[in-house]
Chain A
Amino acid sequence: MSQRPEDDEIEITLLGPGRGECCVLHVGGGEWLVIDSCVTQTGHPAALFYLESLGVSPTAVRWIVATHWHDDHIRCFATLVEKCSQARVFHSAALEKDEFTVLAALDADSLIEGSSGAKEMWKTWTYLKNSGRGSPELTLSDLRIFQRPLGLSPNCEIWALSPSNASVAKAITNFSTLIAKVGQPKRAIPRPERNPSSVVIWVRTGDVIVLLGADLERTSEVSRGWQAIINSNGRPLEQAHLIKIPHHGSHDAHDQAMWNNLLVPYPIAGLTPFKQGNINLPRNSDRARIASLTSQAWLTRDNATARPKRRPRPVTKTIKEATRRFERLSINPGRVTFRCHSTQPVRWTVDAPSPAIQL
């Protein structure tokens, strides 16, 4: 879609995995919300690239949310924040705690090249501090971030549904284990396997509701993960028509109660793939499960990696000899765009150019 959405249209565009994922939302009235950040093959924020393709100025972005600090969700987040000069910036309340700020300060000071989520968060904070834009706003469960004033159309509400207090406490414990001790060798911070404090966003524009699942996982405790949202009395109770599938379709983020309680039957869905080490998401079983629960489900790319870049033949030959597996991670993100007028009946238009696929 190269035309910008009409004022009464809601649009959700999923971008990924140009290392990571990003959601760009038009919430009506020419106002935009960006959730997380991923980059193009050349290392620029994909959200800005997409908005530019529609002729939308970055100043139309009113809110930017970092759902969590993992590298695959906040690539070039600081640049995105800087360019979207009118945006309020939100992240999980867990990140303001001593444990995470020290972790980020250490990572920024480690002399290790390359990006990392903690380093990017430090960079973002440093920019906000030095530019005078002030501190980021902290999200906790059941927090209304925005409500369009009465009289302005279409009506719109944006809510954060997580993290719960128990999730924040769990996240702090996890951060503590990542902080280096005196005498330990300097290393990059490894990507944690668990992510207890991801920020789930709920948006209503007119009659249309969308749920953006971030990387929130299923837990056995009612006070954390999807169970905390499902059992909350403070959240909006209306069911969503569209879901950004959590955690790249992973089984550990699948909670049937979430599908039963937070979504209409057979919603439309979108997701992005992920690859690290031997982990390749969504797996075939995940794809089948998601397809069975939705009216339509779209994946921005079939795979999170691509063939390596072309190099001189001696290099290519040696790579093959020296490695078991060698793939390119930095690729141009795939895109799936969902649009719908904000009044009933809810009828989605989907634009999913190659390499996006339908499950």
Chain B
Amino acid sequence: MTTTNTTRPLDINSPYSEMAVTPAFDIPPQARSPVSANVSTTAPRNDQMTALGHDRPYLPVGLPVPLPTHTEAQPLFTALQKWQGTVSQVTDSTFSAVLLDLLEPSVEEVAEFDLEEVSRGDLDLIAPGAVFYWSIGYRTEPSGERSRSSVLVFRRLPAWSEKDLQRATDNAKELRNNFGW
């Protein structure tokens, strides 16, 4: 695996960080929601960096962009491919997932990953049904050095609330009434 081990963590407040992580294609509407915003607003600690790369390429779009205060350059991630994955099976050392190609959503694939590919901070999120994004692209350092990079980021979706469950219960009740069930 081609990786880059920078000693400088990403500066989320950098004026260039959004530019540095903008994918080469549109992010689907749900991924732009506040739900995914919760996922991406914290830069990874060094101990959360994966063996494959450590960019956070899914910064929420639509958040206020701070005005430039300095011009320190950041690595640029250019995504070539991006999937949304849903974990289907977990073993002691691997997990399998169904992948939806976000460049061509009719294409579904299945992959098996080593758990080692996942950041330590995300390991507790891996369970059947967990949703993640996987992107492959080029990471370009400010020095111009370029390397291939693979990044797995699990979505930290908000927990189900009392209100969510009540809404679903009400919707279900309305449907059953409508159908005479």
Contact = CB atoms under 8 A, between A and B. Distances in A.
Interface stretch (B6-14, B54-62, B69-77, B84-92): B84-92
A105 B108 contact: no
A4 interface: no
A102, A126, A189: residue with the most chain B Cβ atoms closer than 10 Å: A102
B175 A105 contact: yes
A343 interface: no
Nearest to A180: B160
Given A187-B129, A324-B114, A315 B160 contact: no
Given A323-B112, A325-B112, A328-B107, A314 B138 contact: yes
A41 B114 CA distance: 28
B contact residues, range: 35 or more
B80 interface: yes
A221 interface: no
Contacts of B86: 112, 114, 188
Nearest to A93: B181
A328 B180 CA distance: 42
Nearest to A327: B110
Prevailing SS type, chain A contact patch = loop
A318 B148 contact: yes
A111 to B, nearest CB: 5
A329 interface: yes
B65 interface: no
B88 A321 contact: no
Nearest to B89: A277
Interface stretch (A62-70, A205-213, A224-232, A303-311): A303-311
Nearest to B169: A102
A135 B110 CA distance: 35
Contact of A129 (B117, B162, B172, B179): B179
B4 interface: no
A330 B108 CA distance: 5
A182 B160 CA distance: 5
A303 B158 CA distance: 38
Contacts of A191: 88, 128
B1, B89, B109, B127: residue with the most chain A Cβ atoms closer than 10 Å: B109
Contact of A319 (B108, B136, B162, B167): B136
Given A135-B181, A314-B138, A322-B150, A182 B84 contact: no
B157 interface: yes
Given A129-B179, A135-B178, A188-B129, 8 more contacts: A43-B106, A105-B172, A113-B31, A125-B179, A185-B160, A186-B157, A312-B80, A328-B109
Interface of A: 19, 41-43, 96, 98, 101-102, 104-106, 109, 111-114, 125-126, 129, 134-136, 180-191, 275-278, 305, 308-309, 311-312, 314-315, 317-319, 321-330
22 contacts: A101-B172, A109-B164, A113-B28, A113-B100, A114-B84, A134-B179, A135-B180, A184-B159, A186-B158, A188-B131, A276-B89, A277-B89, A277-B112, A305-B110, A312-B81, A314-B80, A314-B138, A318-B1, A318-B2, A322-B52, A323-B111, A327-B111
